[in-house]
Amino acid sequence: MTRMRIVRSYRQRIRPARVSELATGNEPDRLSIAWISFGHLSSDLSQGAVPALLPYLISHRGLSYGGATALLLALTLASSIIQPLFGMRSDRVGDVWLMPLGAAVGGIGVGLAGVVSGYPAMLAVVALGGVGVAAFHPEAARHVTLASGRQPGAGMGMFSLGGNAGFLFGPLTVTLGVALFGLAGTLLVAVPGLVAAAGLVAVRPRLTARLEHAAGRGPVDHGFEHRKAARKAFALVSALIVTRSGVAYGLMALVPIWFVAHLDRSPAAGNLAITVLLAAGTVGTVVGGRIADRIGMRPVIVVPMVAMVPLLVVLPLAEAVGAIVLLALIGLLLDANFGITIVIAQRAVPDRQATASGVVLGLAVGLGGACAAALGVLADSAGLTTAMEAIAALGVVTAVLAVACPLPRGA
């Protein structure tokens, strides 16, 4: 008996019947989806914690503004630019271990930022956290699609909800940790990642079983008429994610400033407005995914992006209360198709799903963040009102890309 047959025989003896059923069936594996989504929460919590950590490092460690923002740049570069490389590795070897390892390393790296001494060490551990974030996302996005079975929209919606919740909880975790334990309290950021890693290790047999079954089925027709249409879909959906992320990051960067400079409100009011935007986005990801599973992807791709444009146009004209209401609606619409765009990118290149996930979750979102930086430069040179109008223009481009994007048959 060959070594491969011995391994397969051993796996068949130790794997529970339920795992086998989940692997070969088309029903969602909700336990696996839950743990992958919690891993996404912990991973994005690590990212969301760094901006909230910077003021403490400036006041307690004497960092300059440039030095503090360089930490954020290190995290962004490490977590975004190299994600496609981890995706390529995942497509070649199917490394399920990247998920628990990435979740743990992401939390530990950022958690150590308040503990280590010396700026080079801070830079190194934050960059290490970014590498963990990059390692987690492509493999996780591929496995959540496999675990979702016939409900990819709902599964990816839960995955996206975890990420949005992580960005919300990141600043709260840093604030609580520092309030209780001083700068050493940043280690609290590592706890969710370690819990997620343990849970992902526990469901690894289920994930591996479904991955092996999918590999055994061979090439799958994902519904595009021809390869050219699939390439066009991938290019347009990636561009859509860039511009949509530019709108999101632009609002997060400029709305707090807008509330203070133009609406004569406190910084707390501006932060409340952004919290409302993000909270509405978490609802939008779940609702949008479930609607797509029921009525198809096309309405969820197009309608929210088109409906968002007039709200962005009106936003600079609104008073504080009206602006918060508008931001709630914008957040709901902005993230309604977040998970669906990832599914489309994966279907466009079915033999390289992890690479596709790395491109759209890492590189495209990172480029969206760069758009926000360009909006900040525009605000300095042409004024804040012009920058807010530019966000609306980005929304128009996003709507055009959504309308033009080809979808698989039946979507």
Same domain, 114 and 208: yes
What span, in angstroms and rounded, lies between the C-alpha atoms of 226 and 130? 37
Of 166, 182, 215, which residue constitutes the final position of a domain?
215
Residue 163 has pLDDT above 60, yes or no: yes
Q: What is the pLDDT of residue 217?
A: 57
Does residue 3 belong to any structural domain of this protein? no
Place of tokens 């300059």: 64
What span, in angstroms and rounded, lies between the C-alpha atoms of 237 and 345? 7
C-alpha angle with apex 283: 172 to 101, nearest 5 degrees?
Answer: 55
What span, in angstroms and rounded, lies between the C-alpha atoms of 53 and 113? 9
CATH number at residue 293: 1.20.1250.20
Note the pTM of the prediction, 2 decimals. Answer: 0.72
Residue 360 has pLDDT above 50, yes or no: yes
DSSP 220: -
Does residue 221 belong to any structural domain of this protein? no
Q: What is the pLDDT of residue 18?
A: 47
Same domain, 210 and 243: no
What is the rounded average pLDDT of the residues 180-195?
94
Which residues, in sequence order, are CB contacts of 273 under 8 Å at separation 6+? 255, 256, 259, 323, 324, 327
Same domain, 259 and 353: yes
Q: What is the pLDDT of residue 240?
A: 92
Sign of the alpha-carbon torsion through 263, 53, 105, 371: positive
Q: What is the pLDDT of residue 55?
A: 77
Residue 149 belongs to what domain range? 31-215
Of 215, 242, 266, which residue constitutes the final position of a domain?
215
Q: What is the pLDDT of residue 222?
A: 55
Q: What is the pLDDT of residue 196?
A: 96
What span, in angstroms and rounded, lies between the C-alpha atoms of 397 and 90? 32
46-50, 220-224, 331-335, 379-383: least confidently modelled range? 220-224
Same domain, 204 and 257: no
Same domain, 238 and 189: no
Sign of the alpha-carbon torsion through 212, 213, 216, 219: negative
What is the rounded average pLDDT of the residues 358-364?
74
Does residue 283 belong to any structural domain of this protein? yes
Does residue 21 belong to any structural domain of this protein? no
Same domain, 88 and 162: yes
Q: What is the pLDDT of residue 4?
A: 42
Does residue 2 belong to any structural domain of this protein? no
Does residue 1 belong to any structural domain of this protein? no
Same domain, 232 and 211: no
What span, in angstroms and rounded, lies between the C-alpha atoms of 95 and 350? 17
Does residue 17 belong to any structural domain of this protein? no
Length of the chain: 411
Q: What is the pLDDT of residue 113?
A: 92
Mean pLDDT, the chain, whole residue set: 82
Banded pLDDT at 38 (limits 50, 70, 90): very high
Banded pLDDT at 99 (limits 50, 70, 90): very high
For the stretch 209-249, pLDDT in tens is 877 766 555 555 555 666 777 888 888 988 998 899 889 88
3-state DSSP assignment of residue 233: helix
Same domain, 186 and 58: yes
Same domain, 63 and 208: yes
Q: What is the pLDDT of residue 6?
A: 39
Of 215, 236, 261, which residue constitutes the final position of a domain?
215
Q: What is the pLDDT of residue 1?
A: 42
What is the rounded average pLDDT of the residues 5-20?
42
Same domain, 95 and 156: yes
Amino acid identity at 59: S
Same domain, 245 and 303: yes
Does residue 13 belong to any structural domain of this protein? no
Q: How many domains does the chain have?
A: 2
DSSP for 342-408? HHHHHHHSGGGHHHHHHIIIIIIHHHHHHHHHHHHHHHHHH-HHHHHHHHHHHHHHHHHHHHH----
H helices present in 15-151, as ranges: 17-24, 30-61, 65-80, 83-93, 98-111, 119-148
Same domain, 172 and 233: no
Q: What is the pLDDT of residue 329?
A: 96
Which residues, in sequence order, are CB contacts of 387 under 8 Å at separation 6+? 250, 254, 375, 376, 378, 379
What span, in angstroms and rounded, lies between the C-alpha atoms of 285 and 339? 7
